[in-house]
């Protein structure tokens, strides 16, 4: 069975700092990779996704992620965070044949003004 | 014109009761899902359903049952509620054809069992 690990449970940054959130998955076949964001009290929104092609994908709100197949990783990055980026971030994966998403445990990002 | 909607947003009930949460999507998707988010924010798939098959996560108690009157709806019925059922329940949908399984989530239903 596939699994997703997010090792950073809580990250605290000051505004304008750079962000990198780690995501590793365990599945050897073809995968689809996603990052979702959940703002306080709200539903999950898709930040970006990777299916194939260029391993560096750009999403909304200045976020990007890089798929490194050899490391089974899909880390999320943003060069300069804002206070409004405070939220819970979830990495998710499904394999080529499965519909269901497997989520990581989430990373709470707090950006201090 | 909400894409995926859920009702109610909040549900407070007592142990032993039976309750339902409704989900509707207007995206024309053919697959719908229910996820449970616990107090530690961990998200876990409960069911996925399209007109071909229902896939149940084996860890979900049989007190939980999805009911789909049509392609646009997947309701979650819970019998004999327990304290441990308290959580936020999210409905989602996707289109099996096209971008593989990009899922759109509803706003969630916060269930509190007392």
Quick: pLDDT tens for A20-76. Answer: 999 999 877 788 899 999 998 888 999 999 988 999 999 999 999 999 999 999 999
**Do the Cβ atoms of B99 and A51 come within 8 Å?**
yes
pLDDT given at position B96: 74
Nearest-angstrom CA–CA distance, B19 and B6 = 14
Q: How far apart are CA A104 and CA A108, in angstroms?
A: 12
Tokens found for residue B83: 């304290």
Q: Does B58 touch chain A (CB under 8 A)?
A: no
CB nearest A106 (choices: B31, B42, B96): B42
| Rg (chain A; Cα; Å) | 13
**Residue with the two structure tokens 């996925």:** B48
B36, B78 contact by CB (below 8 A): no
Of B57, B101, B106, the CB nearest to A94: B101
Residue of B nearest to A6 (CA): B42
Pair of tokens at residue B9: 């947003």
Tell me if residue B84 falls in helix, strand or coil. helix
Residues in chain B closer than 8 A to A49 (CB atoms): 99, 102
Whether B40 and A51 lie within 8 Å, measured CB to CB:
no
Residue A45: HSE in the Cβ half-sphere, 13 Å Cα cutoff:
13
| Buried/exposed A62-80: b ≥16 CB within 10 Å, e otherwise | ebbbbbeeeebbbbbebee
Q: pLDDT of A79-113, one tens digit each?
A: 999 999 999 999 999 876 667 788 999 999 999 99
Tokens standing for residue A22: 């780690």
Q: Evaluate whether B87 touches B37 at the Cβ level (below 8 Å).
A: yes
Instruction: Give pLDDT tens digits along chain B (114 positions).
Output: 569 999 999 999 999 999 999 999 999 998 899 999 998 888 998 988 887 678 778 789 999 999 988 889 999 999 999 999 999 999 999 887 655 668 899 999 999 999
| Most distant CA pair in chain A, distance | 43
Which one, of B37, B43, B50, B57, lies nearest residue B94 by Cα? B50
In which residue are the tokens 């289109």 written?
B95
User: A88 CB contacts (<8 Å, ≥6 apart)?
Assistant: A37, A38, A106, A107, A108, A109, B41
Q: How far is the C-alpha of A9 from the C-alpha of A107, rounded, in Å?
A: 5
Across the interface, whether the CB atoms of A105 and B101 are under 8 A apart is answered no
CB pairs under 8 A between A and B: 56
Q: What is the pLDDT of residue B100?
A: 61
Degrees, nearest 5: CA angle B97-B105-A43: 160
Cα distances from A103 to residues A90, A92, B54, B69, in angstroms, run 7, 4, 20, 28
B66: contact with A, CB 8 A cutoff: no
């Amino acid at each position: 069975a596939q699994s997703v690990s997010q090792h950073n449970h809580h990250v605290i940054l000051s505004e304008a700092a750079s962000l990198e959130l780690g995501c590793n998955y365990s599945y050897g076949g073809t995968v689809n990779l996603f990052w979702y964001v959940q703002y306080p009290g709200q539903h999950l929104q898709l930040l970006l996704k990777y299916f194939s092609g260029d391993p560096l994908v750009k999403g909304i709100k200045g976020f990007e992620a890089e798929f490194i197949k050899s490391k089974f990783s899909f880390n999320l990055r943003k060069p300069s965070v804002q206070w409004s980026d405070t939220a819970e971030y979830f990495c998710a994966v499904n394999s080529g044949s499965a519909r269901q998403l497997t989520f990581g445990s989430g990373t709470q990002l707090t950006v201090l003004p | 014109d909400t894409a995926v909607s859920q009702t109610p947003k909040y549900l407070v009930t007592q142990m032993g009761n039976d309750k339902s949460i409704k989900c509707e999507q207007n995206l024309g998707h053919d697959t719908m899902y229910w996820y449970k988010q616990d107090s530690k924010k961990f998200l876990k798939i409960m069911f996925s359903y399209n007109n071909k098959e229902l896939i149940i996560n084996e860890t979900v108690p049989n007190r939980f049952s999805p009911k789909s009157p049509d392609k646009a709806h997947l309701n979650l019925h819970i019998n004999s509620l327990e304290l441990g059922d308290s959580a936020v329940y999210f409905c989602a949908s996707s289109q099996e054809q096209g971008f593989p399984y990009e899922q759109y989530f509803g706003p969630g239903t916060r269930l509190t069992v007392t």
